[in-house]
Amino acid sequence: MVAHYRNSVCIIARKEDKFLLVRNKEWEKDLWKFPQGGINKGEPISNAAKREFYEELGSRNITINHISKENHIYGWSEEFRKFKKTNYIGQNLFFVIAEVNENKLKCNNKEIEMYKWVDVDEIFNLKYKDYADKIISILTLSEVKRFSDLLFPRNLKKVGQFFKELNFNLIGINQHHNSLNGGLKNGSKKYFFKVGLSNDVNKEIGGYLLLVGKYPVPKLKYVFILGPQTVVIFEHEKTIKKNKGTLCDYINEENVPELSALKNIFKFYKNNLKTVSKRSIFPMDEFFSGRIKTRIIPWYSRSKSPIMNYEFIINGNNHGSLLKIIDKTIKYFNEDKKLTCFLSQGDPTQRNICIKPLFFDFKTSGYNPIIGEISTFYWNIVLGSYLNPKYNPEPYLQNHPNVVKKFLKYKPEIKYGINSKNRTIDVEFSFSPNKNSKKILKEYLDLFRSGRFIDEINNNLRYFLILRTLGRFDVLRMEEEDGILSGCVACLLFKPNVNYLNYILSLL
């Protein structure tokens, strides 16, 4: 008798940003997989998926979104075949991606004893790595390779040789705190790569696959897993050239561009704002609560600096001291709360948004608070256009040198005096955004004026803006004028009992 592989279907089941794993009674306790089962002779794959899901989890309420052309063939041990009393030598596994339309499922106690909803990160930690790699490959439509004998070089001079072994030529490299990125070429095709610790890059891949189909993103072509490090390689976007293509270049243009480009970008926010949910945990929280302990408290809590302790008198009005604002902000972030979240890129800086449109950088992508997104975008346009290229110029130098050359034109107008006797800092201040910046912000803020968001924005957004303003750079290590400038902006933004979107736009 000819031995055959059993045709089976694996259901990559998800709901929003969660994925469904199950544990079979016969499996080891640490073995979790996606729901799967055999395909009957002549049965369409989609029908088999729906039938198996119902048999294992008691629900017909799923939508098949995609049937993959890929399959995964693996053998069974002789011991397992005897245990199962089967003549099959293994499985030929086909894959479907399905949306589950309910939360509560019921295990059929014959086979499935448990199920759980997990973040995408857990897919990387599944017990059988070839199975996990295949799932990631199907979800991201990329090629996933795992190397046991190849490590990324610590010496930057050897990076070119490393990529040469993978049939790429290195054409540019940028070094960051815990990662590298740059350009590659294979024949006439150009690519963009990132390499970092596997846990960090896994978050990047996870965020990417959540955005696929919801936002325009570059195509992820390759994932190379090298033990503790992972390399991801994306197709290069042709519209991005030196001083052209991204939002930071767009803002820098002398003439005010048409709004059509902005509308093309913002329509993806508008579409995804149709689906919101209340959450207390979200990816971009590393920029907010995460920075209380790592930045805000170490930088400012014991400071004797006048910038922290003196009261700011801005254009004749007393706004109090930064230290008191910081204390209220820390208290706010120490409280448990659920905020309205929607699917977003998670770090909407000008360099991460392409005018085409296209979004980049997915480490904090997922379901993020509306107020977190607004605070990041607003600060980067209003103050980041000046401070980012001045205090962190490296990311701009290769592709956006004009941003570094022209950053001074985005500096707000400020005159100040420090009065030690009265313990005040007296400031004359006004923002001086260019027409492009104000036009962009108005178009952006209009996305969030729905009545269902307004109360939450009015009551919470100021705290997020304080974290963004004081947690991006240590204001006490800046030039004194820039430190006072940042403190002044923080004081102005800490404004309760107002229509907050109208207020922060009126500041410009």
pLDDT in the model for residue 288? 97
What is the pTM for the complete model shown? Answer: 0.90
As a dihedral over the C-alpha atoms of residue 34, residue 40, residue 44, residue 45, rounded to 10 degrees, the angle is 20
pLDDT in the model for residue 342? 97
2 has a pLDDT exceeding 50: no
pLDDT in the model for residue 331? 97
80 has a pLDDT exceeding 80: no
Token look-up 């709360």 returns 337
pLDDT in the model for residue 1? 37
Nearest to 306 by CA among 424, 415, 416: 424
400 has a pLDDT exceeding 90: no
177 has a pLDDT exceeding 80: no
- Cross-strand partners of 340: 278
pLDDT in the model for residue 258? 63
DSSP SS3 for 255? coil
CATH of 256-506, one of 2.40.50, 1.10.30, 3.90.1200, 2.60.40: 3.90.1200
346 has a pLDDT exceeding 60: yes
pLDDT in the model for residue 259? 66
The pLDDT of 457-483, averaged and rounded, is 97
The pLDDT of 336-353, averaged and rounded, is 95
pLDDT in the model for residue 255? 61
Share of the chain above pLDDT 90, in %: 66
Helix H or strand E segment including 18: strand 18-24
pLDDT in the model for residue 254? 63
pLDDT in the model for residue 411? 85
- For the chain, give the mean pLDDT: 91
The pLDDT tens digits of the residues spanning 203-224 come to 999 999 999 999 999 999 999 9
The pLDDT of 88-92, averaged and rounded, is 87
Please indicate whether the domains covering 5-119 and 143-235 agree at the CATH topology level: no
Topology (CATH) of 5-119: Nucleoside Triphosphate Pyrophosphohydrolase (3.90.79)
Listed in order, strand segments (DSSP E) in 336-423 are 339-344, 353-354, 358-359, 366-369, 413-419
3 state SS for 445-491:
HHHHCCHHHHHHHHHHHHHHHHHHHHHCCCHHHCCHHHHHHHHHHHH
Spatial strand order in the sheet of 277-279: 277-279, 339-344, 366-369
Q: Which numeric CATH code is attached to 143-235? A: 3.30.200.20
pLDDT in the model for residue 104? 83
Share of the chain above pLDDT 70, in %: 98
The pLDDT of 424-449, averaged and rounded, is 88
Strands 36-38 and 143-146, by their bridges, are: unpaired
3 state SS for 397-422:
HCCCHHHHHHHHHHCCEEEEEEECCC
The pLDDT tens digits of the residues spanning 287-319 come to 999 999 999 999 999 999 999 999 999 999 999
Instruction: Map out the domains of the chain as residue ranges.
Output: 5-119, 143-235, 256-506
The pLDDT tens digits of the residues spanning 93-102 come to 999 999 999 8
127 has a pLDDT exceeding 80: yes
Highest average pLDDT, of 126-130, 253-257, 320-324, comes from 320-324
**Running DSSP on this structure, what letter comes out for residue 39?**
P
- Lowest average pLDDT, out of 82-86, 347-351, 388-392, 427-431, goes to 82-86
265 has a pLDDT exceeding 60: yes
